[in-house]
Amino acid sequence: QVQLVESGGGVVQPGGSLRLACPASGRPFSTYTLGWLRQAPGKARELVAAIVWSGGSTYYSDSVKGRFTITRDNAKNTVYLQMNSLKPEDTADYYCAAQSGGTYYAPQYFGYWGQGTQVTVSP
């Protein structure tokens, strides 16, 4: 079991940056693959980024490659998402999520979710 609480969302102009953070509690943090997912109105849920337990391997969706960076600090039980060069199409609710028992880069494999934080990119 793991509990996740996102923070860092807000409103930003196109080209701006935000940094999301998600501290976790529960089972040992290092045993989970962690990710960030997002969902915008009328769109399917999308896995934006993920990072394995060691931090040595990451995944990014094509839409955010080169702009977003996911990192984790196991000592602080926290995963981060640095979002740069934000675009209006990045507007969505962002969720911190975790999976155990393997590493699969698809939304349905993340069984633990935070409450979400809203990101709005607008002029």
Question: pLDDT tens string for the chain (123 positions)?
Answer: 788 999 999 999 999 999 999 998 876 667 789 999 999 989 999 999 999 877 789 999 999 999 999 998 888 889 999 999 999 999 999 999 998 878 899 999 999 999 999 999 999
Asked if 81 contacts 20 with a C-beta cutoff of 8 angstroms, the reply is yes
Q: Which tokens in the block code for residue 102?
A: 């393997």
Query: How confident is the model at residue 27, as a pLDDT?
Result: 67
Angle at 73 between CA 71 and CA 81, to 5 degrees: 30
Q: Which residues contact 24 (CB under 8 A, 6 or more apart)?
A: 2, 3, 4, 32, 34, 77, 78, 79, 96, 98
pLDDT, residue 54, reads 76
> What's residue 28's pLDDT?
65
